[in-house]
Amino acid sequence: MKHGYALLLSASLIAHTAPAFAQGENTTFAWKFEEGNKLMEEKLYNQSAEIWVQLVQEQPDNANLNYKLGTCYFHSYNQKHKALPYLEKAAAQRSSGYGGFNTAGYDPFDMREKNAPVEVDYYLGRAYHLNGDYDKADQSYQKFLDGADKGHELYPMAARGKEQTANARKLIADPKPYQISNVGKVVNQDHPDFSPVLSVDGNALFFTSRRVRPDSSNSGVIDPVAGLPFENIYVSYKDREGNWQAPELLNINPPEGGHLASVNVSADGQTLFIYRDDGGDGNLYESRLVGELWSDPVLIGSDVNTKSWETHAAITADGNTLYFVSDRKGGAGGRDIYRVVKLPTGEWSKAQSIGNVVNTPYDEDAVFIHPNGRTMFFASKGHNSMGGFDIFTTEMQEDGSWTPPVNIGVPLNTVDDDVFFVTTADGRRGYFSSDKIGGYGEKDIYFVDLPEEMEAEGLTVLKGFIIPPPGTTLPPSTILYVTDKATGEVKTYKPRQRDGVYVVILPPCKEYNLDYRVDDKTIHTEDIYVECETAYQEINKEIYLNPVSITGPASIVDLPKGSPPGSKEKGEPAKSGEKAKPEEYLTDAQLKEKGKTHTMPDASYAAEYVKYYEYNKKDIDQAETDWKGFIDTVVGLIDKNGKATIVIEASASKVPTRTFGTNENLSRQRMDDARKRLIEAVQARGKNADVIFLEAINSLVQGPAYKGDYINTEKYGKFQYVKLKTR
pLDDT score, position 443:
87
DSSP-assigned letter for residue 427: S
Cα(116)–Cα(147) distance, integer angstroms? 13
> How does DSSP classify residue 222?
E
**3-state SS class at 295:** coil
Is pLDDT at 402 greater than 60 in this prediction?
yes
**Residue 283 CA, distance from chain mean position:** 19
Could you give the angle at the alpha carbon of 696 between the alpha carbons of 632 and 566, nearest 5°? Answer: 140
C-alpha span between 145 and 160 (Å, rounded) = 11
- Residue 378: name the closest of 429, 442, 311, 321 by CA: 311
Q: Name the residue among 597, 585, 600 with its Cα closest to residue 519.
A: 585
pLDDT of residue 434: 84
**d(C-alpha 264, C-alpha 93), whole Å:** 48
| Cβ-contact 427, 456 below 8 angstroms | yes
Q: Is the pLDDT of residue 681 over 60?
A: yes
Phi-psi bin for 388: left (phi > 0), alpha (psi -120 to 50), beta? Answer: left
pTM reported for the whole predicted model:
0.83
Neighbour count for residue 502 (Cβ, 10 Å): 24
**DSSP assignment letter at 495:** P
Average pLDDT over residues 605-624: 92
What pLDDT is recorded for position 27? 85
pLDDT digits 0-9 by tens, 41-60: 999 999 999 999 999 999 99
DSSP labels, 320-358: -EEEEEE--TTSSSSSEEEEEEB-TTS-B---EE--TTT
Residues whose CB is less than 8 angstroms from the CB of residue 428 and which lie 6 or more positions away in sequence, other chains included: 449, 450, 452, 454, 455
Q: How far apart are CA 267 and CA 376, in angstroms?
A: 15
> Letter for the amino acid at 1?
M
What was the pLDDT predicted at 654?
A: 86
Find the distance separating the first CA and the last CA of the chain, reported in whole Å.
Answer: 63
Residue pLDDT, tens place only, 405-454: 999 999 999 998 888 999 998 888 999 988 777 788 878 999 999 887 77
How confident is the model over 304-332, as pLDDT tens digits? Answer: 999 999 999 999 998 999 999 999 999 99
Structural contact between residues 359 and 367, judged by C-beta atoms closer than 8 angstroms: no
> How do beta strands 283-290 and 293-294 pair?
antiparallel
d(CA 506, CA 446): 29
656-673: average pLDDT = 90
Can you point out the beta strands (E) in 452-509?
A: 460-467, 479-484, 490-493, 501-506
Q: When comparing pLDDT for 26 and 210, which is higher?
A: 210
Answer yes or no: are the C-beta atoms of 634 and 627 closer than 8 Å. Answer: no
Task: Give the residue from 107, 83, 103, 82 showing the smallest Cα distance to 94.
Answer: 103
